[in-house]
């Protein structure tokens, strides 16, 4: 599952897909849609990343998506809700900020849990999180989003990271087919989410993006 996929990526030739759920979806239809996407394109990890703060809704979604992901030997991590990982049988947590005490979190969750963290465009935050025990570092956005202050990850950071740091990195945020082609030599995972869920056929869209790797 993800633990080995993340730590062994340094030896892999091509990046893998790290799939991110849409921020809102209905459990009546999304698990089946997700299954079609996962069956169409190899995916290393699935992140449940919902906009709602309703913990009951998040837990129900996690239960449903865990079944889909684990049936395909794909790890499921959840954004920020650390306490749900063990309770719901998930594989780990994705922290949306690098300002948490990762060392303490690692002690509490144990060595087998996957812990990843988003570090924006900051190489310093990425290095700090990697040293504290993160299994992967996520950088983004890499494309133009129209959100925030317009900052984008400098490809030089990714190039330096790929040469100097063994902890894998995920790049995400406004990916385009051309960016996937350009960044493939200097990243380990592409965090794909909104790029496919807004399309009429997410499975076909992801397959087309993956073909650019």
State residue 13's pLDDT score. 66
State residue 100's pLDDT score. 75
Contacts 24+ apart (CB under 8 A), 115-124: 116/6, 116/77, 116/92, 116/170, 118/94, 120/151, 120/153, 121/151, 121/152, 121/153, 121/154, 121/157, 122/98, 123/157, 123/160, 123/161
Q: Are 195 and 41 in contact (CB under 8 A)?
A: no
Q: Indicate whether 3 pLDDT > 50.
A: no
Q: Are 109 and 85 in contact (CB under 8 A)?
A: yes
Residue 196 neighbours by CB under 8 Å, 6+ apart: 37, 202, 205, 206, 209
State residue 146's pLDDT score. 66
Peptide bond preceding 146 in cis form (omega within 30 of 0): no
Q: Indicate whether 148 pLDDT > 90.
A: no
Query: Span 115-133, mean pLDDT?
Result: 95
| pLDDT single digits (tens) 149-181 | 779 999 999 999 999 999 999 999 999 999 999
Q: Are 34 and 66 in contact (CB under 8 A)?
A: no
State residue 58's pLDDT score. 98
pTM of the model: 0.93
Measured CA to CA, the distance from residue 27 to residue 32 in angstroms comes to 9
State residue 147's pLDDT score. 64
| Mean pLDDT (the chain, rounded) | 93
| pLDDT single digits (tens) 59-102 | 999 999 999 999 999 999 999 999 999 999 999 999 998 777 89
Q: Are 189 and 8 in contact (CB under 8 A)?
A: no
Q: Indicate whether 142 pLDDT > 90.
A: yes
| pLDDT single digits (tens) 174-200 | 999 999 999 999 999 999 999 999 999
Q: Indicate whether 127 pLDDT > 90.
A: yes
Domains held by the chain: number:
1
**Cα separations in angstroms, 145 against 42, 76, 134, 194, 211:** 26, 26, 26, 11, 23
- Domain, as residue range, for 35: 2-210
State residue 61's pLDDT score. 98
- Cβ-in-10-Å burial (0-12, 13-18, 19+) of 38 comes to buried
Q: Indicate whether 7 pLDDT > 50.
A: no
Q: How confident is the model at residue 113 (pLDDT cuts 50, 70, 90)?
A: very high
What phi, psi does 78 have (nearest 5°)?
-120, 140
Query: Span 133-156, mean pLDDT?
Result: 90
Q: What is the CATH number of the domain that holds 46?
A: 3.20.20.70
DSSP 6-42: HHHGGG-SS-EEEEE--SS--TTTHHHHHHHHHHHS-
Measured CA to CA, the distance from residue 190 to residue 38 in angstroms comes to 15
């Amino acid at each position: 599952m993800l633990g080995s996929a993340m730590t062994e990526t340094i030896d892999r030739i091509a990046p893998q897909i790290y799939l991110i759920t849409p921020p809102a979806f209905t459990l009546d239809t999304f698990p089946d849609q997700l299954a079609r996407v996962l069956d169409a394109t190899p995916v290393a990890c699935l992140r449940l990343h919902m906009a709602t703060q309703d913990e009951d809704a998040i837990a129900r979604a996690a239960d449903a998506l865990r079944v889909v992901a684990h049936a395909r030997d794909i790890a499921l991590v959840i954004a920020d809700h650390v306490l749900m990982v063990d309770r719901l049988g998930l594989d780990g947590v994705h922290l949306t900020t690098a300002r948490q005490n990762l060392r303490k979190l690692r002690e509490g969750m144990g060595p087998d849990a996957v812990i990843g963290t988003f570090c924006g465009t900051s190489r310093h935050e990425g290095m700090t999180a990697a040293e504290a025990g993160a299994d992967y570092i996520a950088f983004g956005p890499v494309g133009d989003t129209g959100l925030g202050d317009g900052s984008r990850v400098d490809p030089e950071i990714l190039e330096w990271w790929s040469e100097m740091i063994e902890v894998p990195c995920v790049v995400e945020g406004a990916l385009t087919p051309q960016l996937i082609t350009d960044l493939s030599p200097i990243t380990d995972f592409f965090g794909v989410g909104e790029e496919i869920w807004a399309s009429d056929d997410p499975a076909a869209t992801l397959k087309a993006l993956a073909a650019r790797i």
